[in-house]
């Protein structure tokens, strides 16, 4: 019993660390631009497909992976500068900005389907799902281990960037007061575009590491994206530590739920969590309670 609990728990941590990456991307954008990016998952799909193409022409993984992330980052920043920014300048409300990202999501879905086709593909990943390492009673595949590692590295890297660099400091200031930052002469638009690009990098990483488990098709990130969303809501939409906590909690809780209660309703579990969290504590576990000015 305890062993099963451990196995499911550690497995959940591995999945959870990918939810963390997705959630961090969502929170990063939401904090800085106040936009819920519904195209987050699709950007990750784009990154994964680019990686797939590069890997299938036998580019080494260490070249293909950063290159595809760069493509995703560029696309994401371009969307912000080219579409969202003009919309914000016209004073569009949060809901119509959200709908704009939905539009982008549809465009990417269609484009990836057009270029790479709808049939599922297998990404040639350098790590295998079947070779395992035993840590006491818990058996982990190389892939799960790498996934955990990537989650930790991504989250720690983002933490260091936000907390220890000048750019990070400017970003934190930006999320508090846009006009104040602009008055101080900090290039706010460039920083916001950077936030969008970083968000795509985080999401894209999650996509590439999920690809060996799921098959790659234009819709394969929808479910993980929605889970990342749930994790972000659970932790608090404007809190980066919250995204980490939420992602790990969701991964573990979901894995335990699937292991002990019902596999069939495992997928619906995360959305149940969204509803409960929004009902009881809409700002999430670590988020600041939001007040509204009338």
Structure tokens at 154: 């991504």
Q: For residues 100 and 186, is the Cβ–Cβ distance under 8 A?
A: no
- Give me the residue label for tokens 């404007």: 238
Which of residues 36 and 201 has its CB atom nearest to other proteins in the complex?
A: 36
- Alpha helices (H) along 34-177: 40-56, 61-79, 85-89, 94-116, 142-164, 166-176
Q: Residue 226 interacts with other proteins (CB under 8 A)?
A: yes
Chosen residue from 102, 127, 145, 214 binding other proteins by CB under 8 A: 102
Which of residues 42 and 155 has its CB atom nearest to other proteins in the complex?
A: 42
Chosen residue from 60, 66, 110, 180 binding other proteins by CB under 8 A: 110
Q: Residue 279 interacts with other proteins (CB under 8 A)?
A: yes
Residue 294 CB neighbours (<10 A): 3
Q: Residue 104 interacts with other proteins (CB under 8 A)?
A: yes
Total number of residues binding other proteins (CB under 8 A)?
47
Chosen residue from 193, 230, 240, 256 binding other proteins by CB under 8 A: 230
237 to 158, 232, 293: CA distances (angstroms): 16, 5, 19
Residue 267, H or E segment:
helix 266-280
Chosen residue from 60, 66, 149, 272 binding other proteins by CB under 8 A: 272
Structure tokens at 243: 């995204």
Q: For residues 30 and 243, is the Cβ–Cβ distance under 8 A?
A: no
DSSP state of 12: H
- Give me the residue label for tokens 């019902």: 262
Q: How far is the CB of 128 from other proteins (least distance, A)?
A: 31
Chosen residue from 210, 233, 252, 256 binding other proteins by CB under 8 A: 233
Per-residue binder mask for other proteins (CB under 8 A), 25-44, x = binder: -----x-----x--------
Chosen residue from 14, 100, 193, 250 binding other proteins by CB under 8 A: 100
Q: Residue 128 interacts with other proteins (CB under 8 A)?
A: no
CB within 8 Å of 291: residues ≥ 6 apart: none
The span from the CA of 249 to the CA of 274, in Å, is: 13
Structure tokens at 108: 């990417």
Q: Residue 120 interacts with other proteins (CB under 8 A)?
A: no
Q: Residue 96 interacts with other proteins (CB under 8 A)?
A: yes
| Closest residue by Cα to residue 199 from 82, 47, 9 | 47
- Give me the residue label for tokens 């049939």: 119
Chosen residue from 222, 253, 285, 286 binding other proteins by CB under 8 A: 222
Q: Residue 257 interacts with other proteins (CB under 8 A)?
A: no
Which of residues 12 and 228 has its CB atom nearest to other proteins in the complex?
A: 228
Q: How far is the CB of 257 from other proteins (least distance, A)?
A: 13
> Would you tell me which residues interact with other proteins (CB under 8 A)?
30, 36, 83, 86-87, 90, 92-96, 98-100, 102-111, 113-114, 118, 222, 226, 229-230, 233, 237, 264-265, 267-268, 270-272, 274-275, 278-279, 282, 292, 294
């Amino acid at each position: 019993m305890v062993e099963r609990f451990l196995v499911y728990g550690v497995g959940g941590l591995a999945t959870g660390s990918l939810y963390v990456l997705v959630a961090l991307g969502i929170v990063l954008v939401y904090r800085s631009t106040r936009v819920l990016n519904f195209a987050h998952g699709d950007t990750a799909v784009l990154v994964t497909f680019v990686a797939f193409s590069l890997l299938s022409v036998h580019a080494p993984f260490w070249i293909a992976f950063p290159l595809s992330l760069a493509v995703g980052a560029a696309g994401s920043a371009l969307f912000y500068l080219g579409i969202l920014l003009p919309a914000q300048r016209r004073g569009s409300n949060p809901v119509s900005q959200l709908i704009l990202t939905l539009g982008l999501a549809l465009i990417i879905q269609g484009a990836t389907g057009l270029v790479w086709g709808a049939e599922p593909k297998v990404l040639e990943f350098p790590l295998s799902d079947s070779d395992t390492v035993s840590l006491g009673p818990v058996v982990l595949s190389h892939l799960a281990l790498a996934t955990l590692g990537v989650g930790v590295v991504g989250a720690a890297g983002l933490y260091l960037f936000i907390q220890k660099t000048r750019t990070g400091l400017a970003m934190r200031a930006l999320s508090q007061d846009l006009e104040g930052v602009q008055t101080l002469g900090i290039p706010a638009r460039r920083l916001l575009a950077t936030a969008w690009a970083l968000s795509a990098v985080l999401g894209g990483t999650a996509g590439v590491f999920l690809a060996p488990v799921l098959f790659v098709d234009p819709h394969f990130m929808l479910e993980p994206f929605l889970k990342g969303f749930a994790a972000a809501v659970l932790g608090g939409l404007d809190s980066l530590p919250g995204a980490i906590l939420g992602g790990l909690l969701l991964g573990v809780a979901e894995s335990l739920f699937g292991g002990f209660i019902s596999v069939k309703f495992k997928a619906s579990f995360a959305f149940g969590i969204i509803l409960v969290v929004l009902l009881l504590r809409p700002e999430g576990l670590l988020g600041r309670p939001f007040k509204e000015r009338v």
